[in-house]
Amino acid sequence: MKAGIHPENYRFVIFKDMSNNDMFMSRSCVQTKETVQWEDGKEYPLIKLEISNTSHPFFTGKMKLIDTAGRIDKFNKRYAKK
């Protein structure tokens, strides 16, 4: 790897899957203003995800439709037969 192109400020961060409220800890340098208390009692930065490996159909084997922005309803309204 090239020297000097990777960030140096990696720290522990909590990632939360908003579709099923599953949380996991990993290291990241992403900036966030939100924090959450983890199982060990310490506060960590919180990153919210719309989908992760615990809710993605490829990893779960279930075809679960997650529509957080109402895109399907908007599409159906726009292209409904009149």
Which amino acid type is present at position 44? Answer: Y
CB 55 within 8 A of CB 22: yes
What are residue 27's DSSP bridge partners?
A: 12
Q: Domains of the chain: which residue ranges? A: 11-78
| Separation of alpha carbons 52 and 18, rounded Å | 9
- Give the SS3 label for residue 6: coil
List, for residues 18-41, the tens digit of each pLDDT value. 888 889 999 999 999 999 999 999
Cβ neighbours of 55 (radius 10 Å) = 19
List, for residues 36-76, the tens digit of each pLDDT value. 999 999 999 999 988 777 776 655 666 656 666 677 777 88
- Give the SS3 label for residue 2: coil
